[in-house]
Structure 1
């Protein structure tokens, strides 16, 4: 398994801004964590993108415990609530908690807690970023391993790959980059720098990054900062996941990749699938730019007959959800079948396209409106970020430019026949985003109050 894969000895595993670590050195770092217990325990890891937290993550998996990942910048009130609910044996991070004694960056629970953790449970990932609920996705060792292997296969990750990783490790996309590259014996360039920072690109150039991963917001930023004029001879691959990327940008980066002998992969996934479910083969990208592609190796898609909900089948499908401590004792509730909640269609070549979310609808004056559809249409008008949310009495649209106001109003009233009382447009300096780069719709709704 990738977390036990130390057969590469002096091959470089991780490079940070300060130093580099071979696979052998990474193995030694994992031994610094003493996680001995007579039973399977839960460990809460407050993640930052540095070598200590990678070593801790691997140490927990090697010890056979279950690891819960949360960002170190998570709201303290939420963290306190999670700790109270799940009672982890150890907490790894610099934050202190009541009823825990802290030694270095490891805190141990002082009170006895009796609970059972299922033998297959390896990882708990939040369903809602840094501000949401206590609901977690339960992933098994097999879920993580099979998805890592599949990603290595379809991205053709070799040992000489050097992947830049600046996405949060507590985010399933960021974690999958780590898992898959360790599986392949490749190298991860680890940083928390943004693509907007000059030092990020210095890091990319100095260590000759071969691949760059991003969410839609990443690619929106890249298109604005002069990425297409950069000299990046070592960069061979770009990957995108974490939400729908507007077709204009897919084609823009696809054409760039084609002209510069690079590969650009569009991927689709959910935390519930550990997380990858599909990709577009690079030779089909420009022809299938609006789609999510085909299922990953080992996976399979089908559409629910009455609703067209996209259903995925594969060994990477989660065990189920956890909302209480008792849920950690549960086994596999899904049996490899995931109802994604996305509505889709499939073309004659077997390529799937997401057309909306089962729950991303509002009903205004009897008219059922797909918020994802509205969002895509408004983005295509101004080719700038737009976010749509709302309730059954009002549609809320957030934009980042006053210049779009008239065009957005015109579209809502002419295309969707909405009276001005049925919608509200908010002009903001920036659309709120969560740590993983996805739109924070809850924060937008809060601005209505």
Structure 2
């Protein structure tokens, strides 16, 4: 049975800046990829938000091969090392590699390579936050199918939807938009344009897009560009994931949605969960502002009594990690249980709130400091981009302007009673971010410590 049982109809499937495509055309384009092999293979897909790359993804899954998704503009040295380590049978992209020859729309490995790919393995995604690693999350067909169906259920996705897809396909949030909307028989608006460009909003308006997804940085930018004043009557659903959105902005967008007959969903997940684990129903966003909500349909959330770590159980939990070619043969190592690394509390209504990351702690003069909590407290006070890093010698608070430095200084001393030698405020031109919009804490630490 094919993963995407698409009906070859004239129903709209994809819109790009240049053209519209039906489901019939998408099925035909996927069939153009000749992925014939006597054994299950690995395909490396260099992702771009184009019709052709989407068709390649559909072809990979429907031919029961495993597909590794990486950004098209991935560092060339890292990309080369991934090819050498994992030896994919086919590569979809413009780049050329030694030992591969072009065959139609793909590069094919010339020499035979004897390796085993587990029958259930469908997708390999880079672990969240890793831009310089060969470590991938192993997701099964059942992982991504069950998560997509849960998303379809709580977002009420039907075949009348047209979702803006401007997040990278190689990012789990972006891929979940693709999976959920294709499985629901709805349409995708593929674009790599920025929300800062007028042409992006012209396309959204003219094509009557119904939903828009964004990471916290997206919503910071939407507020700056005057999104609330735009005339977008067909845009009915806004979703946010990919990190914590500060409570002030959750309230701003929650109130905007309520006053304009739209739905705003705050969601939480990790690539390791295909990726969604929880959400706040749109009608409770203002009431439960600051929380990550409740478990998605079919999922279960609990708290480790000793560590306060959030534990998730569900059929969408990954098979495990892969760090080399041999790992592709591994069976399911997780048994549907994911230790998230996030510490949480839960209220009387069963809504969970993240208090920090187990590894995002430093210890100053015997005082255990939660860096996520520091960020959250300071954001509430100064309402601007802020990022915290540090070690057991010093807390570092990074800002993009010295405008709020004095207020940050007084807040740190008030909350944590730290001597001025125990922390520093670092002014950066720009807080470093990953391609998915999250703060790049590894790079931040290199810049500040």
TM bucket by the smaller chain?
over 0.9
Mapped pair 1:432 → 2:432: yes
> What SS does the corresponding residue of 1:24 show, helix, strand or coil?
helix
Q: Which residue does 1:35 correspond to in 2? A: 35
Mapped pair 1:281 → 2:297: no
Mapped pair 1:196 → 2:196: yes
Q: Which residue does 1:311 correspond to in 2? A: 311
Q: Which residue does 1:323 correspond to in 2? A: 323
Mapped pair 1:16 → 2:16: yes
Q: Which residue does 2:81 correspond to in 1? A: 81
Q: Which moved more, 1:296-305 or 1:393-402?
A: 393-402
Q: CA offsets per residue over residues 239-292 of structure 1, 9 Å max, x none?
A: 000000001111110001000010000001100010011111111111101111
Mapped pair 1:163 → 2:163: yes
Once the two structures are superposed, the pairs formed by residues 1-400 of structure 1 within 5 Å of their partners are 3-7=3-7, 9-103=9-103, 105-129=105-129, 131-400=131-400
Structure 2 CA distance for partners of 1:172 and 1:40, relative to 1, 3 Å: same
Rounded Cα–Cα distance in structure 2 between residues aligned with 1:98 and 1:391: 43
> What SS does the corresponding residue of 2:311 show, helix, strand or coil?
strand
- Equivalences, count: 449
Could you tell me whether the CA contact under 8 Å between 1:13 and 1:23 is conserved in 2?
yes
Residue 180 (structure 1) shift = 0.4
Rounded Cα–Cα distance in structure 1 between residues aligned with 2:86 and 2:50: 25
TM-score normalized by structure 1? 0.98
Rounded Cα–Cα distance in structure 1 between residues aligned with 2:197 and 2:5: 33
Could you tell me whether the CA contact under 8 Å between 2:49 and 2:169 is conserved in 1?
yes
Rounded Cα–Cα distance in structure 2 between residues aligned with 1:155 and 1:113: 43
Structure 2 CA distance for partners of 1:2 and 1:341, relative to 1, 3 Å: farther
Residue 105 (structure 1) shift = 4.5
Q: CA offsets per residue over residues 301-336 of structure 1, 9 Å max, x none?
A: 110111111001111000001111111111111111
Rounded Cα–Cα distance in structure 1 between residues aligned with 2:392 and 2:94: 43
Q: Which moved more, 1:102-111 or 1:334-343?
A: 102-111
Residue 2 (structure 1) shift = 8.4
> What SS does the corresponding residue of 1:219 show, helix, strand or coil?
helix
Q: Which moved more, 1:414-423 or 1:56-65?
A: 414-423
> What SS does the corresponding residue of 1:111 show, helix, strand or coil?
coil
> What SS does the corresponding residue of 2:52 show, helix, strand or coil?
helix
Q: CA offsets per residue over residues 54-111 of structure 1, 9 Å max, x none?
A: 0001101111110000000111111111111111111110111222223454211123
Residue 363 (structure 1) shift = 1.2
Structure 2 CA distance for partners of 1:295 and 1:3, relative to 1, 3 Å: same
Q: CA offsets per residue over residues 96-145 of structure 1, 9 Å max, x none?
A: 12222234542111233221111000000001456221110000000011
Rounded Cα–Cα distance in structure 1 between residues aligned with 2:106 and 2:425: 47
Rounded Cα–Cα distance in structure 1 between residues aligned with 2:69 and 2:193: 20
Task: Give unpaired runs (5+ residues) of structure 1.
Answer: none
Q: Which moved more, 1:257-266 or 1:128-137?
A: 128-137
Q: Which residue does 1:402 correspond to in 2? A: 402
Rounded Cα–Cα distance in structure 2 between residues aligned with 1:103 and 1:408: 58
Could you tell me whether the CA contact under 8 Å between 2:342 and 2:356 is conserved in 1?
yes
Could you tell me whether the CA contact under 8 Å between 2:426 and 2:448 is conserved in 1?
no
Could you tell me whether the CA contact under 8 Å between 1:130 and 1:435 is conserved in 2?
no
Residue 398 (structure 1) shift = 1.2
Residue 4 (structure 1) shift = 2.2
Residue 297 (structure 1) shift = 0.5
Query: How big is the alpha-carbon RMSD for the aligned residues of Structure 1 and Structure 2?
Result: 1.3
Could you tell me whether the CA contact under 8 Å between 2:2 and 2:63 is conserved in 1?
no
